[in-house]
């Protein structure tokens, strides 16, 4: 009770440090407690031998996937965040348990997503425990990811076999920006310095080729593997080649502000800001993106809570690094909606946090479902918000 009152005072003081700000309509601690109760249900019923939880059902069960699935790091990552927030040993044990099966990924080279998979799980685990074994696994995974880098294109190959003889194309998707965080971390923590070079080169090439004049993003850019020239720009998960797939845009906003944090290179900040501007100018009134901003049947198209959660978290980082209050406002306007009964999985017997995400609409896969990465970035955003509030409060004193 005392804790809650103290938090409300902090929230009140914080809300008066920023002019004309969007008011927070929920208590982050209450939502985090709700997340704990949902994930408690999940860990009590999931069997680890069935694989990594990816998306779930109203009866509380989850679809579980092999560790090679690109989303395998998000469930353990969420458990690490719950531990970070609560300091409760129960979450530490659960996070350790659900992280351990991912170790073989350190040598997995079949796609680029090992950055997501290993940094969300082992990366958070190392940050919170300093476990040396976790560090070794992250460094080894970074070596593996670096084998997908090609100096001709100056990019990391997203999809495709690196051992293919004479490939005709080199595919890079915007999502790949997110894998660079692990390389940046590794280059500063005992790994090769070339990881930083690779990730800067990848970001620079993406910056050159992945965006239209209005700063909406292409999902997929294909390069000629022999010359590095762009061959084609298209979509896979979006509505059309020239549409703005909302999660792709979210990966870009998040990926470039992360690269600015890691390198202090101004053009990465500018890019994140430009991408965010386009995203926010295109949002519907309730601030939750449709799965694609150009989907044909808007307003009767599904929303994507995962895109919203990624952008909310990125906007809190944009606010922290620029001190521009509009980014705080944008984050809060999204979080207010996600923390409402419309999006929180309070009905039925779900054992997740957020409803209403879209995975891969063009093939009708995971449309209007709960999905592990929406929970991960939502909880990350709530924790970032709490840290920001404490920092602002201290600065005021």
Q: Which of residues 218-237 bind ligand GLY (CB under 6 A)?
A: 237
Q: Which of residues 138-177 bind ligand GLY (CB under 6 A)?
A: 175
Site string for ligand GLY, 341-380 (x = CB under 6 A): ------------------x---------------------
> What is the residue-wise DSSP string for 19-62?
TTPPPP-S-HHHHHHHHHHHHHHHHHH--GGG-EEEEE-TTS-E
The rounded distance, in Å, linking the Cα atoms of 347 and 60 is 11
User: Which residue matches tokens 């995962």?
Assistant: 306
Site string for ligand GLY, 175-194 (x = CB under 6 A): x-------------------
For 152, the token pair is: 């001709």
Assess contact for 217 and 210: CB atoms under 8 A: yes
Q: Which residue is nearest to ligand GLY (CB)?
A: 175
Q: How many residues bind ligand GLY (CB under 6 A)?
A: 5
The rounded distance, in Å, linking the Cα atoms of 13 and 38 is 31
Give whichever of 22 and 117 is closer to ligand GLY, judged by the CB atom. Answer: 117
Residue 302, interface with ligand GLY (CB under 6 A)?
A: no
The nearest distance, CB 95 to ligand GLY, in angstroms, is 22
The nearest distance, CB 256 to ligand GLY, in angstroms, is 16
Which residues make beta-bridge pairs with 53?
64
The rounded distance, in Å, linking the Cα atoms of 383 and 22 is 18
Query: For residue 344, with 0-12 CB atoms within 10 Å meaning exposed, 13-18 middle and 19 or more buried, which class applies?
Result: buried
Assess contact for 334 and 312: CB atoms under 8 A: yes
Q: Which of 26, 70, 108, 393 binds ligand GLY (CB under 6 A)?
A: 70
Give whichever of 109 and 372 is closer to ligand GLY, judged by the CB atom. Answer: 372
Catalytic residue among 27, 69, 113, 242: 113
Residue 247, interface with ligand GLY (CB under 6 A)?
A: yes
User: Which residue matches tokens 């790994």?
Assistant: 191
The nearest distance, CB 159 to ligand GLY, in angstroms, is 10
Which residues make beta-bridge pairs with 220?
173, 234
Assess contact for 154 and 227: CB atoms under 8 A: no
Give whichever of 99 and 237 is closer to ligand GLY, judged by the CB atom. Answer: 237
* Maximum Cα interatomic distance, the chain, rounded to a whole number of Å: 66
Give whichever of 259 and 358 is closer to ligand GLY, judged by the CB atom. Answer: 358
- Phi, then psi, of 302 in degrees rounded to 5: -65, 145
- Length of the chain equals 397
The nearest distance, CB 175 to ligand GLY, in angstroms, is 4
Give whichever of 135 and 171 is closer to ligand GLY, judged by the CB atom. Answer: 171
Assess contact for 292 and 239: CB atoms under 8 A: yes
Of 330, 335, 316, 336, whose CA–CA distance to 387 is shortest?
316
Q: Which of residues 22-61 bind ligand GLY (CB under 6 A)?
A: none
Give whichever of 70 and 108 is closer to ligand GLY, judged by the CB atom. Answer: 70
- In the residue annotation, 292 being an active-site residue is answered as no
Sign for the pseudo-dihedral over CA of 352, 123, 217, 68: negative
The nearest distance, CB 204 to ligand GLY, in angstroms, is 21
Give whichever of 70 and 393 is closer to ligand GLY, judged by the CB atom. Answer: 70
Catalytic residue among 175, 196, 292, 375: 175
- In the residue annotation, 113 being an active-site residue is answered as yes
The nearest distance, CB 213 to ligand GLY, in angstroms, is 24
Q: Which of the residues are catalytic?
A: 113, 175
Residue ranges that bind ligand GLY, judged by CB under 6 A: 70, 175, 237, 247, 359
């Amino acid at each position: 009770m005392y804790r809650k009152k103290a938090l409300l005072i902090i929230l009140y003081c914080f809300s008066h440090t920023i002019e004309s700000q969007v008011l927070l309509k929920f208590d982050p601690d209450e939502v985090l407690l709700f997340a704990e109760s949902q994930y408690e249900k999940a860990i009590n019923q999931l069997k680890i031998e069935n694989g990594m939880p990816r998306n779930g059902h109203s009866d509380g069960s989850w679809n579980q996937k092999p560790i090679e699935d690109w989303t395998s790091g998000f469930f353990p990552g969420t458990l690490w965040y719950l531990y970070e927030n609560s300091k409760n040993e129960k979450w530490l044990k659960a996070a350790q348990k659900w992280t351990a099966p991912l170790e073989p990924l350190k040598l997995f080279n079949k796609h680029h997503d090992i950055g997501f998979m290993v940094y969300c799980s082992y990366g958070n685990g190392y940050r919170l425990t300093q476990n040396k074994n976790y560090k070794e696994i992250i460094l080894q995974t970074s070596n593996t990811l670096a084998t997908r880098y090609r100096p001709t294109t100056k990019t990391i190959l997203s999809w495709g076999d690196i051992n293919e003889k004479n490939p005709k194309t080199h595919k890079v998707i915007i999502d790949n920006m997110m894998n660079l965080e692990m390389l940046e971390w590794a280059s500063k923590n005992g790994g090769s310095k070339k990881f930083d070079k690779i990730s800067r080169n990848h970001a620079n090439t993406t910056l050159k080729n992945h965006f239209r004049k209005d700063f909406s993003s292409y999902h997929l850019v294909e390069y000629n593997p022999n010359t590095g020239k762009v061959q084609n720009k298209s979509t896979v998960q979006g509505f059309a080649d020239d549409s703005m797939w909302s999660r792709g845009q979210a990966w870009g906003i998040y990926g470039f502000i992360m690269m600015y944090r890691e390198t202090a290179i101004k053009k990465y900040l500018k890019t994140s800001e430009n991408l965010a501007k386009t995203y926010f100018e295109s949002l519907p009134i309730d601030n939750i993106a449709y799965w694609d901003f150009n989907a044909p049947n808007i307003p009767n198209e599904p929303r994507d809570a995962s895109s919203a959660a990624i952008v909310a978290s990125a906007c809190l980082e944009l606010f922290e690094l620029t001190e521009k209050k509009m980014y705080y406002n944008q984050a809060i306007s999204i979080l207010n909606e996600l923390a409402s009964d419309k999006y929180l999985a309070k009905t039925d017997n779900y054992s997740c946090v957020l409803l209403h995400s879209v995975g891969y609409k063009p093939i009708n896969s995971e449309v209007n479902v709960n999905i592990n990465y929406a929970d991960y970035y939502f909880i990350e955003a709530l924790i970032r918000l709490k840290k920001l509030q404490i920092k602002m409060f201290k600065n005021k004193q």
